[in-house]
Amino acid sequence: MAKLAGFNKVEVLVVGAGPAGLAAAITIKKRQPEIGVCVIDKAEHAGNHNLSGAVIEPGPLHALLDMALGQWQESERAQDVLGHVVEKDKVLMFLGKKLAFSMMPSIQMARLFRLGFGKMVHKGDYSVSISKLTAWLSDIAKEVGVEVLHGFAAADIIMNGDGSDAIATGVKLVDQGRGHDGKAQANFMEGEVINAEVIILAEGCDGLVTERFVEEAKLTRETAQLYSVGVKEMIAVSDEQYEKFGSNRCVHAMGYPLWTPLRGPGMFGGGIMYTHKKNHITVGMIVGADWKYHDFNPQDALARFKEHSYVKRYIEGGEVVEAGAKMIPEGGYRAVPRDPATNYIGKNNVIIVGDAAGFVDMLRIKGLHNAISSGMTAGMAVAAHFSFPEEIAMRYTRMLEESRVHRDMRAARNFRQTVAKFGNSLGFPLSVAANWLPKFNIEPDYETMTKASYRFKREKAFDKDAFTAAARVEHREEQPGHIKIIDPEICYNICPDNYDCPCIVFCPAGVYERIHDEARPANPSNCLHCKTCQNKCPYDNIRWGVPEGGGGPRYKDM
Amino acid sequence: MSHYIVLVKQVPDVTQITDNAFDPETGNLMRGKLPSVINELDAQALAFAEHMRQLDGTAGGKVIALTMGPPMAEDVLRYSLARGADEAVLLTDRSLGGADTWATANPLAYAVRKIVREMLGGADDYYVVSGMQSVDGDTAQVPAQLAEEMGLPCVAYATGVAKGSERAEFTRIISGGSQKVSPRALPAVVTVAKYEETLFAGFAATRWARQKEIIRWSADDVRPTAVGVKGSKTRVIRVFPPAKTQRKCKHVASVGEFVQLLRESLKKASAVEGANGDVATDYVLPRKRGSVMDRSFEGTSKEIASFEDLVGQLKALNIESAGAVDDEAKEKIIAASRNGAKLNQAMLDDMLKGLEAVEPSYRGDVWVVAEHDNGQVHASTFELLGKARHLADSLEVKVGVVLAGQSVAGMAGSLIAGGADNVYVIEHPLLAEFDPSAMRKSIAEVIGRHWPQIVLFAATPQGRVIAPMISYRLGCGLTADCTSLDIRDSSRKGEIAVLMQTRPALGGNVMATICTKDSKCQMATARPGVFKRLPADESRKGEIIKEEVELTEDDLSLDVIETERGTGDVNFEAEIIISGGKGLASKSNYEDILNQLTSTVAEHLDCSVERGASRAAVEQGFVERVHQVGQTGTAVGPKVYLAMAISGAIQHMIGVSNSEAIFAINNDPNAPIFKQCDYYLVGNIEEIVPELTKQLGAN
Ligand SMILES: Cc1cc2nc3c(=O)[nH]c(=O)nc-3n(C[C@H](O)[C@H](O)[C@H](O)COP(=O)(O)OP(=O)(O)OC[C@H]3O[C@@H](n4cnc5c(N)ncnc54)[C@H](O)[C@@H]3O)c2cc1C
Ligand SMILES: Cc1cc2nc3c(=O)[nH]c(=O)nc-3n(C[C@H](O)[C@H](O)[C@H](O)COP(=O)(O)OP(=O)(O)OC[C@H]3O[C@@H](n4cnc5c(N)ncnc54)[C@H](O)[C@@H]3O)c2cc1C
Ligand code: SF4
Ligand code: SF4
């Protein structure tokens, strides 16, 4: 339509309004207000698709807020979002359903000797909800003049040219208004193309457009990306329970039910207990996605964790008011996608920030500070060199290499792979020397599945309906399914006999169901966008696509 | 080339209401706690208008979005601009706040006139398109009243549109079917009841919408004749949370007992009435009470308490009549008034005046407007008659019924047997088809001749169109969709024996009691199934009064092209809904079991019945999606909901919570549904169904 001519053109387009994307956008606007910056996100409202633990390292966040707001410490919003500072930092080892030992002494010791896992301390960090933090950053971005537009899901990147000259001209949004059968309805709207001079990919973990770009621009990773799956619940507890727990405690628990020394299971990960709201305790379970039990589901482990006597006393009788699931990229330094020719994290006018690039520091199990730092670095690179869009990838990579993100990521570069290779009992001690060990090539997560069963499987199936209800997930029901099975034959003939269709079990939202003897993504509208299925189907038989904008969970306090 | 003025409204997002959205003290909904969204049916109306524009095909047709509301209502205008609207008008003014439907429709009509004058060059080929109703008010009154104010044809309850030879042809819902109609002239008002293909925001359009200037008008700019609270014809007396139904969760051991309970639940009249009102006791006129000081018939219990207090104090001071209270006594009373109900001078004066009031504020009979089809009076009319009889008896007046149509006098007898004293018969050839314009003109004329004090309509597709038009035409307030009607006093306002109209609002999340004001007559619509009809008494005597009205072709507003009755649509208004879940295992099983049960029930229990399903059953392909019950299906509220092999997931149960009785059969003794139903049987469906069918079939 004529009146809309030109409105699909922006100068800088950021895909993904998470902490990384918003930090980038805010930085550009603060430094060079005349550059037009637009951020799009598939969630209906700011923060709806952002889920984290989270304890966040204050440094980078402070730097961002100082730059954007100057005075912010006293503001009501800051009090609301950052009101909880960790004082009691507990790292525990659970042995069985009742015992809990403190690991703090060994961590303190490791810290003393400057060993890697000595960095697992959180005292002084903020305990936050990133849905809320993201919503705040989104408002700040709008205030400084960024266009933040929600409900727009990107489906693809449009590249022009080949090889080293390949330049991106824009991003295509998903089609909207098709029926179940894929046919266009009366309200059909073809995915628009947004043209941009610079594109910042900030889609978070396993980004769809990011991976399309990695493929198109031929970026490579030194090792395959590894993932963890996080499931969490926010529980409203009684006054007494909250008082007992305190407003500033943060608990990380290893061991049971993911790992026991002798008889297994042997999975990477652990449970968390945080609080970032009065009378609410968040419990979560983060599990390395290289688990090998075909009948395992992180929610089962979460249910076990909640029954452990240390956890139970704080949450028993409480009501789950919100729940959700998401993945964390854990491959670290060597799994960051780069242009093999130049080593840049991106190509020409396209760069990748935050979880989309994989900037999670596994020694700290943290990614938020790096998401913000890498976003700010990207912002500075774009602000300073906007007139030369094709130089942005180079400038950004150079600036990042000077930064702490790079140093920390490098220091932790082999930790997760070592644990993956040798298992927890041997891997943790070995990880001390991980950086001197040779590089391992670890298989992708989906290849690790076996016929083995999880020893602590619960009798009663986890109530996934209640879980998705607490995530307030919603999609327009009539749209075509956004999850594709590449070869349904495998689901029918091969997978059932070998692994009994693990997707039915591990999908936290119950999207997969057996219909006429075949596992299918029968309820796509339950989907939490965690992308576990895409990385855990033993036959790598699932492709997750973005549904229509605005669909998905509606997290407010995750 | 036509233009489209779309009425959009900003409403609180009622899907997000939780218990803590209510003020624990007052029970009032704290609107600030809810996000605001566009009213869903208005979003559909916008898509409907866009669809009409595309059907029309000629270039140049404009879509203009119009809203009246606080400044933040701008959001729904930007929403509309991002989805095809070309211009947006915000009518905003403090003085317009607190308006009821009357004082909303009136300024909107003036704004439409101004839009036509100034933005459409005085064209008359335009449609005003709006959602049929809004979720916060649920009244469906504004568009019809706007049509009345502007004297335009009104196509209500539209669900589809096609290109006609001259003007667009609309499909609309009528009682028990659907109808194709075309307005006889433009401009016309169209209200959309269901059009699911709402528009998506475009990226470029959203950015364009952000910078597009919104036209802002104040009350002075449009000069309405009814403004805000002052211009309203109704007033809210109180708002309170609805009574929560407690499910019985009773395990039933035998199929026989299960069927027995099911039969009883079906027979019970709807429990809605009274359950959510305060009072269900009869009203006594002041002059018939033991003492004129007796104010136990006030509208709210708080008022009753303060009057009791006051009367107690007067007694203590030995004062016998309210007129005898001097200044000194007043001071004493104020000083002694309790902290919780502290009085001030003005309040006390009001109450003293109230104590002196004894004469009813309204005069005249209690009337019902009859609805009929194929020579049969609708059940809803008889239900209203039952209520009208009750109200009239306590007011010591008569019950009248208006019966309008082509030749309808034959039905008058049944109305008298159903409780009427007078039947006012209007017969005219032009009333053969239900045409809202002709109908409202005739009925309003007859009401205006006799001025009853109360007029009741059924809240059906017909009633919900003509009631707003008639009330607006006669300058009277109207309350829609009442679930409880009681005569009470509002003495402090000097009002005696007024109609307290209680209705659900905000999607059933709150109840509101409303009174008519500044009107000669109190009008209300009530949902079918809410009130009880009287047993027909053929020996009752009554009078049939012929009323003449003058109608010409010009009084018709719509051409009826085609009427379809009882289309194969899903009838979720049925008295009993039987749903099957995934536990039924296969499509053939679902069909066998459901067909068996529904046909047996229809045959032997003499009630309407419909099939439902859980989403899992739909996904498995047992039945089409239109049968899905629940959060993403349809929310239902039958007398009996029978769930077969359904686990009771929260998303399913949300959609059945309004059912009067929930029955469940499941073979899992720990099925979650057992904690959310009234009666349940534990066992295998396959084994239970044969016995169940047999017992249901036994007379
Ligand atoms: C369970 C769990 C616990 C964690 N705990 C901690 C912790 O304690 N401390 C810590 O520092 N870090 C923690 N992390 C990691 C941290 O949450 C992430 O590193 C951080 O959120 C990354 O930010 P981001 O902006 O890169 O991505 P995200 O926050 O994931 O944001 C990406 C955004 O992009 C949008 N998007 C994605 N694809 C598209 C598309 N195609 N079109 C449009 N929009 C799109 C998404 O909707 C989303 O809003 C945890 C993560 C998880 C899952
Ligand atoms: C966003 C969202 C929206 C949703 N919207 C809806 C909605 O609108 N409507 C809806 O229904 N669901 C909805 N759901 C899905 C909902 O969560 C449940 O998955 C669904 O309702 C389950 O259907 P079911 O009870 O038929 O199946 P199941 O949960 O599989 O239950 C089958 C039941 O049958 C019983 N059974 C099995 N065999 C027999 C037998 N022989 N005899 C007796 N009993 C037997 C079993 O004990 C079990 O209780 C939604 C979910 C989400 C996430
Ligand atoms: S999608 Fe993957 S996990 Fe699921 S059945 Fe098919 S092959 Fe198995
Ligand atoms: S379908 Fe895939 S992405 Fe969606 S919730 Fe299930 S595992 Fe996660």
Domain ranges of chain A: 9-77+130-221+336-411, 83-128+227-327
Q: Which ligand is nearest to the CA of B687?
A: 2
* B310 closest CA partner among B290, B333, B328, B329: B333
Peptide bond just before A524 cis, omega within 30 deg? no
Q: What is the pLDDT of residue A498?
A: 95
Helices (H), B317-435: 327-336, 345-356, 379-395, 412-417
Three-class DSSP category at A70: coil
Residue A164: both structure tokens together = 């080293």
Q: What is the pLDDT of residue B276?
A: 41
B445 pLDDT more than 70: yes
Are the C-beta atoms of residues A86 and A125 closer than 8 Å to each other? yes
The CATH code of the domain at A83-128+227-327 is 3.30.9.90
pLDDT single digits (tens) A326-362: 999 999 999 999 999 999 999 999 999 999 999 998 8
A114 pLDDT more than 80: no
Q: Does B197 touch chain A (CB under 8 A)?
A: yes
Cα–Cα distance, A41 to B206 (Å, whole number): 14
Of residues A422 and B602, the one with the higher pLDDT is B602
Cβ of residue A547 lying under 6 Å from some atom of ligand 4: no
The lowest-confidence range among A204-218, A444-458, A461-475, B301-315 is B301-315
Share the mean pLDDT of chain B: 90
Q: Look at the block and give the residue holding tokens 């109908």.
A: B439
Listing DSSP states for A140-204 in one string gives HHHHTT-EEEES--EEEEEEESSGGG-EEEEEEEPPEEE-TTS-EEEEEEPPPEEEEEEEEE---
Burial level of A485, CB count in 10 A (0-12/13-18/19+)?
buried
Check B203 against A187: CB less than 8 A apart: no
Residue A32: both structure tokens together = 């060079």
* B79 closest CA partner among A136, A8, A550, A278: A550
Residue of chain B with shortest Cα separation from A5: B204
Share the mean pLDDT of chain A: 92
Cβ of residue A39 lying under 6 Å from some atom of ligand 1: no
Cα–Cα distance, A364 to A147 (Å, whole number): 33
Give the pLDDT band (50/70/90) at residue A426.
low
Q: Does B205 touch chain A (CB under 8 A)?
A: yes
CB-side neighbour CA atoms (13 Å) of B78? 17
* A368 closest CA partner among A11, A50, A35, A32: A50
Class of domain B366-551: alpha beta
Ligand 4: centre distance to CA B676 (Å): 29
pLDDT average, residue stretch A225-239: 96
Ligand 3: centre distance to CA B436 (Å): 59
Give the pLDDT band (50/70/90) at residue A46.
very high
Of residues B670 and B272, the one with the higher pLDDT is B670
Report residue A489: phi and psi, to 5°. Answer: -55, -40
Cα–Cα distance, A147 to A124 (Å, whole number): 33
Q: What is the pLDDT of residue B342?
A: 76
Q: How is domain B3-232 classified at the CATH fold level?
A: Rossmann fold (3.40.50)
Q: Which ligand is nearest to the CA of A519?
A: 3
Ligand 2 atom 4: residue of nearest CA: B651
The lowest-confidence range among A162-166, B557-561, B587-591 is A162-166
Ligand 1: centre distance to CA B205 (Å): 28
B28 pLDDT more than 70: no
* A285 closest CA partner among A255, A264, A263, A265: A255
Q: What percent of chain B has pLDDT over 90?
A: 62
Q: What is the pLDDT of residue A285?
A: 97
Ligand 4: centre distance to CA A423 (Å): 27
CATH number, domain B250-268+570-697, options 1.10.287.130, 3.40.50.1220, 3.40.120.10, 3.30.1280.10: 3.40.50.1220
Question: Ligand 3 test: best mutation among A537, A540, A543, A544, most atoms within 8 Å of CB?
Answer: A537
Give the pLDDT band (50/70/90) at residue B147.
very high
Of residues A426 and B612, the one with the higher pLDDT is B612
B184 pLDDT more than 90: yes
Check A187 against B200: CB less than 8 A apart: yes
pLDDT single digits (tens) B58-104: 888 999 999 999 999 999 999 999 999 999 999 999 999 888 899 99
pLDDT average, residue stretch B578-585: 95
Of residues A362 and B182, the one with the higher pLDDT is B182
Kindly state the greatest CA–CA separation across chain B.
84
Check B204 against A4: CB less than 8 A apart: yes
Cα–Cα distance, A155 to A136 (Å, whole number): 26
Provide the edge-to-edge strand list for the sheet that holds B609-613. B250-251, B679-682, B661-666, B640-644, B576-580, B609-613
Of residues A461 and B556, the one with the higher pLDDT is B556
ipTM, two decimals: 0.93
Residue of chain A with shortest Cα separation from B617: A515
A40 pLDDT more than 70: yes
Q: What is the pLDDT of residue B156?
A: 93
Ligand 1 atom 29: residue of nearest CA: A18
Cα–Cα distance, B631 to B474 (Å, whole number): 41
Q: What is the pLDDT of residue B335?
A: 84
CB-side neighbour CA atoms (13 Å) of B55? 21
Q: What is the pLDDT of residue B274?
A: 43
Residue of chain B with shortest Cα separation from A525: B632
Cα–Cα distance, B696 to A550 (Å, whole number): 47
Three-class DSSP category at A136: helix
Q: Which ligand is nearest to the CA of A507?
A: 4
Cα–Cα distance, A446 to A542 (Å, whole number): 11
C-alpha to C-alpha distances, B204 to A5, B145, B208, B210, B211, nearest whole angstrom: 8, 37, 6, 10, 11
CATH number, domain A9-77+130-221+336-411, options 3.90.470.10, 3.30.300.30, 3.50.50.60, 3.90.170.10: 3.50.50.60
Q: What is the pLDDT of residue B594?
A: 95
Q: What is the pLDDT of residue B570?
A: 80
Q: What is the pLDDT of residue B568?
A: 56
* ∠ Cα A76 A78 A84 (to 5°): 115
Q: What is the pLDDT of residue B540?
A: 94
Three-class DSSP category at B133: coil
The lowest-confidence range among A436-445, A522-531, B25-34, B314-323 is B25-34
Residue of chain A with shortest Cα separation from B631: A474
Cα–Cα distance, B163 to B55 (Å, whole number): 6
B254 pLDDT more than 60: yes
B278 pLDDT more than 60: no
A464 CA closest ligand 2 atom index: 17
Q: What is the pLDDT of residue A195?
A: 98
- Residue B202 C-alpha, separation from nearest chain A C-alpha, in angstroms: 8
B205 vs A contacts (CB less than 8 Å): 4, 7
B275 pLDDT more than 50: no
CB-side neighbour CA atoms (13 Å) of B537? 12
Give the pLDDT band (50/70/90) at residue A517.
confident
Cα–Cα distance, A153 to A483 (Å, whole number): 15
C-alpha to C-alpha distances, A234 to A38, A538, B259, B584, nearest whole angstrom: 32, 31, 43, 35
pLDDT average, residue stretch A381-396: 97
The lowest-confidence range among A12-21, A201-210, A470-479 is A470-479
Ligand 2: centre distance to CA B653 (Å): 10
Ligand 4: centre distance to CA A467 (Å): 13
Cβ of residue A191 lying under 6 Å from some atom of ligand 1: no
Domain ranges of chain B: 3-232, 250-268+570-697, 286-356, 366-551
Give the pLDDT band (50/70/90) at residue B134.
confident
Cβ of residue B612 lying under 6 Å from some atom of ligand 2: no
Question: Ligand 3 test: best mutation among A491, A507, A518, A533, most atoms within 8 Å of CB?
Answer: A491
Ligand 4 atom 3: residue of nearest CA: A531
Cβ of residue A210 lying under 6 Å from some atom of ligand 1: no
Cα–Cα distance, B631 to B646 (Å, whole number): 15
Of residues A240 and B20, the one with the higher pLDDT is A240
**Separation of CA B660 from chain center:** 19
Cα–Cα distance, A203 to A209 (Å, whole number): 8
pLDDT average, residue stretch B403-422: 96
Peptide bond just before A257 cis, omega within 30 deg? yes
Are the C-beta atoms of residues B614 and B639 closer than 8 Å to each other? no
Give the pLDDT band (50/70/90) at residue B270.
low
Check A187 against B197: CB less than 8 A apart: yes
- Residue B204 C-alpha, separation from nearest chain A C-alpha, in angstroms: 5
B272 pLDDT more than 90: no
Cα–Cα distance, B197 to A177 (Å, whole number): 8
pLDDT average, residue stretch A506-523: 92
Are the C-beta atoms of residues B660 and B675 closer than 8 Å to each other? no
pLDDT single digits (tens) B633-661: 888 889 999 999 999 998 899 889 888 89
Check B651 against A151: CB less than 8 A apart: no
Q: What is the pLDDT of residue A323?
A: 98
Cα–Cα distance, A542 to A524 (Å, whole number): 13
Residue B54: both structure tokens together = 């595309």
Ligand 2 atom 48: residue of nearest CA: B647
Fold agreement between B3-232 and B366-551 = yes
Three-class DSSP category at B450: helix
pLDDT average, residue stretch A17-41: 98
A8 vs B contacts (CB less than 8 Å): 203-204, 207
Ligand 1 atom 13: residue of nearest CA: A366
Are the C-beta atoms of residues B276 and B502 closer than 8 Å to each other? yes
Which residue of A4, A151, A548 is in closest CB contact with B208? A4
The lowest-confidence range among A21-35, B326-340, B353-367 is B326-340
pLDDT single digits (tens) B122-131: 999 999 999 9
pLDDT average, residue stretch A134-145: 98
pLDDT average, residue stretch A26-31: 98
A98 pLDDT more than 70: yes
Listing DSSP states for B289-350 in one string gives SS-TT--TTBSSHHHHHHHHHHHHHHHHTT--SGGG--HHHHHHHHHHS-GGG---HHHHHH
